[in-house]
Amino acid sequence: MTDRYAVIGNPVAHSRSPWIHAQFAQATGQDMEYVRIESPLEGFAQTVDDFRRRGGCGANVTLPFKEAAYRYSAVLTHRARAARAANTLQFAENGVLGDNTDGAGLVRDLVSNLGCAMAGIRVLLIGAGGAARGVILPLLEAGCAQLVVANRTPARAAALAAEFASNERAHPLSATGFDGLAGASFDLVINATSAGLSGAALPLPATVFGRDALAYDMVYGHDTPFLAQARAAGARACDGWGMLVEQAAESFLLWRGVRPPTAPVLAALRAV
Ligand code: NAP
């Protein structure tokens, strides 16, 4: 019987996940289908319950339900616990496993696709929302020497860093507002804000982009003022398509036990 998966969100019509997972299934010979499910805003648990009753094996979860998916899960991976959010659910007889593959997807894109050696580098992470929280532990685990979280509302950056204070890997982590970035310089600058979606530029000093820096915007599908700022400062600029594809591949690996090839999928998405 064909195994069933879904992406659950609201809205979800725009999601590229069904197409990405169809490519993965074809490339690895997996007998599975993957559909979109739009859940009512107040009905996430009911939506997942229904999908499980209809034979669903697992699901990806997108905005605005990643925290609800975290609460729904009976068992959580350590990366879902650190993110306080789940983007991947695996259904089993004895309950639901919640995982978060966003951070692993980002690090894999940085390391494997973009050739960024993470050990010992200085990283600036801009933003203090769910996307930023989801990548902090994987970035620390990848071995960066410095991880500065900067946010428009500095108190949110401080609160986010404080969440990780008890983690044994947290010593490279600190927080600041944009004012605190004057004179600072980084090897990797990651934009985890939604500013690019509204075309807003970030008030970053050009000096944050260090020599040979890589600038990464989690937003995908259109060029952003952040990427333009980075290019103007001489940095290499990359959008978030790779993170999207690699987090999907991490979910696929969890569900199917096989890592799908991502390069052709990424190339096809970028070519559209
Ligand atoms: P969120 O929880 O709404 O967080 C929004 C963040 O953006 C906050 O830190 C906010 O600062 C900041 N912000 C918004 N507008 C700004 C502006 N004009 N100037 C400066 N800062 C601004 O959103 P999220 O869930 O973290 O997602 C952030 C982005 O990551 C989204 O665009 C999402 O599409 C993207 N994302 C991509 C992937 C991928 O696979 N590529 C995965 C996950 C997320 P304040 O705290 O000051 O309000």
pLDDT tens-digit map of 36-56:
999 999 999 999 999 999 999
* Catalytic site residue from 66, 79, 133, 256: 66
Q: Is 195 in the pocket of ligand 1 (CB under 6 A)?
A: yes
What's the pLDDT tens digit per position in 211-269? Answer: 999 999 999 988 999 999 999 999 999 999 999 999 999 999 999 999 999 999 999 99
Q: Model pTM?
A: 0.96
What's the pLDDT tens digit per position in 130-171? Answer: 999 999 999 999 999 999 999 999 999 999 999 999 989 899
Alpha helix segments (H runs only) across the chain:
17-28, 44-53, 66-72, 78-83, 102-108, 130-141, 154-163, 225-232, 241-256, 263-271
**Structural domains in the chain plus CATH codes:** 3-100+243-271 (3.40.50.10860), 103-239 (3.40.50.720)
State the distance from the centre of ligand 1 to the C-alpha of 62, rounded, in angstroms: 14
Query: Could you give the CA distance from residue 184 to residue 126 in angstroms, rounded to a whole number?
Result: 14
Q: pLDDT class for 27, splitting at 50, 70, 90? A: very high
Which residue, by CA, sits nearest to atom 20 of ligand 1? 152
Under a CB-based contact definition with an 8 Å cutoff, are residues 187 and 212 in contact?
yes
**Is the pLDDT reported for residue 98 higher than 90?**
yes
66 is catalytic: yes
Which residue, by CA, sits nearest to atom 15 of ligand 1? 195
Q: Read off the tokens for 31.
A: 């007998």
Query: Could you give the CA distance from residue 97 to residue 73 in angstroms, rounded to a whole number?
Result: 6
State the distance from the centre of ligand 1 to the C-alpha of 269, rounded, in angstroms: 22
Give the per-residue pLDDT at 222. 86
Give the per-residue pLDDT at 19. 98
**Is the pLDDT reported for residue 94 higher than 90?**
no
Query: Could you give the CA distance from residue 217 to residue 268 in angstroms, rounded to a whole number?
Result: 19
CA Rg value for the chain: 18
State the distance from the centre of ligand 1 to the C-alpha of 197, rounded, in angstroms: 9
Query: Could you give the CA distance from residue 43 to residue 198 in angstroms, rounded to a whole number?
Result: 28
Q: Is 227 in the pocket of ligand 1 (CB under 6 A)?
A: no
Give the per-residue pLDDT at 272. 81
> Under DSSP, is residue 104 helix (H, G, I), strand (E, B) or coil?
helix
